[in-house]
Amino acid sequence: MLMKAVRVGLGQLVIAGDFLTRPSKKKRSPEAQAAVDASAKALTLYQFHACPFCVKTRRAMRRLNVPVALRDAKNNEPDRQALLSGGGRIKVPCLRIEEEGQTVWMYESKVIIDYLEKRFSAV
């Protein structure tokens, strides 16, 4: 019980820190941003709201100005089951990438951020 209270408290500190230090969004021309928005429709991030690795990933998405759909794999049972059945495990963050009829489930915040930076930083 004490550990749960500590974990919840730390989670709230992580969320508050993220809110107070949120990075600014990358500026693009309207045409370039429209292309990013269209590409981002193929992406979904399965996450826990207070997970530090998920916060790190969401911060990178904000900094790159990539509007990825978010799914709550902790509090939303259908999202949790989709993560388990599609990705094979309940581990967050997990980026689902749907391209050319294929679905890839990408785990690990560092791998996800590297993928997003390679795909969207030059746009």
pTM, full prediction: 0.88
The CATH number that applies at residue 98 is 3.40.30.10
| Structural domain harbouring 46 | 2-23+31-120
Give tens-digit pLDDT for 72-123.
Answer: 999 999 999 999 999 999 999 999 999 999 999 999 999 999 999 999 988 7
Domain count for the chain, please give it: 1
pLDDT tens figures, 34-65: 999 999 999 999 999 999 999 999 999 999 99
Alpha-carbon distance 24 to 22, whole Å?
7
Would you list the DSSP string of 62-117? HHHT---EEEETTT-HHHHHHHHHHHSS--SSEEEEEETTEEEEEESHHHHHHHHH
CA 89/CA 16 separation, integer angstroms: 28
Beta strands 43-47 and 94-99 are antiparallel
